[in-house]
Structure 1
Amino acid sequence: MFLKIHHSPEMGDVVAVCDRELLNTTISHDTMTVTISEAFYGNTPATEAEVRAVLKNAGNANLMGERVVSMAIEMGLCTRAGCVMIGKVPHAQIYQL
């Protein structure tokens, strides 16, 4: 997986994580097209343990891919029904208010 933390004074930190094979690809479904770029998801590889540790304390997260979304579901951070499928790729956005 790839992990990047965006620091924003207005929104707080946003954790972005994508499955390794999705980085620098474009996926689409109907009229929606999403580019999974290094600019947003970073280019720093992260282990499952590192991702879990960051997600445990994340106020906001943007997750792309089966492995990371399944991990978030397992951790109780989101549900499968709350995810959006873009083609065959699950996408989750998590916000703590």
Structure 2
Amino acid sequence: MIYVKIYRVQGEVLLAACDEELLGKTFREGDLKLEVKERFYRGELVEEDALGPLLHEATIANLTGERCVSKAIELGYVDEDRVLRIQGVPHAQMARLFL
């Protein structure tokens, strides 16, 4: 399962999503630190297949965890070569540009 939370601010739709078991944890590697904060990520708990329509609507996304990031890669929203790993945990950000 994946936690998803949607923020709507000034015409932007930000999707925060993380694998359920990562919520509340902090990961460090070298100078990098990834905090999976409950106040940012904890929203609705959904199956990973629900991520597709949410990513389609999002203009910005913060994705953390194997299931979350893998689904975004599978659907073409994230380039696998652009995924950051901190202590082995994948993290990706997406921004949709409208020209």
Aligned counterparts of 1:85 and 1:49: Cα–Cα separation in 2: 23
Q: Which residue of 2 aligns with 1:69?
A: 69
Identity %: 35
In 2, the alpha carbon distance for the partners of 1:72 and 1:41 equals: 16
- The equivalent of 1:8 in structure 2 is 9
Q: Give structure 1 regions of 4+ aligned residues with deviation exceeding 3 angstroms.
A: none
In the alignment, structure 1 segments of 5+ residues that lack a partner are none
Q: Which runs of 5+ in 2 are unaligned?
A: none
Structure 1 residue 51 displacement after superposition: 1.6
If each structure's strand is expressed as a fraction of its own residues, which one has the higher value? 2
Q: How does 1:10-89 map to 2 (within 5 A)?
A: 12-89=12-89
Give the root-mean-square deviation of aligned CA atoms: 1.2
TM-score by length of 1: 0.91
CA offsets per residue over residues 1-43 of structure 1, 9 Å max, x none? 100011211x611000000110011111112222101111124
Deviation (angstroms), 1:69: 0.4
Give TM-score scaled by structure 2 length.
Answer: 0.89
**Alpha-carbon separation, structure 2, partners of 1:35 and 1:47:** 22
Report the count of equivalent residues.
96
Q: Deviations over 1:53-77 (max 9, x none)?
A: 1112221111001111000000011
Alpha-carbon distance in structure 2 between the residues aligned to 1:46 and 1:86 = 24
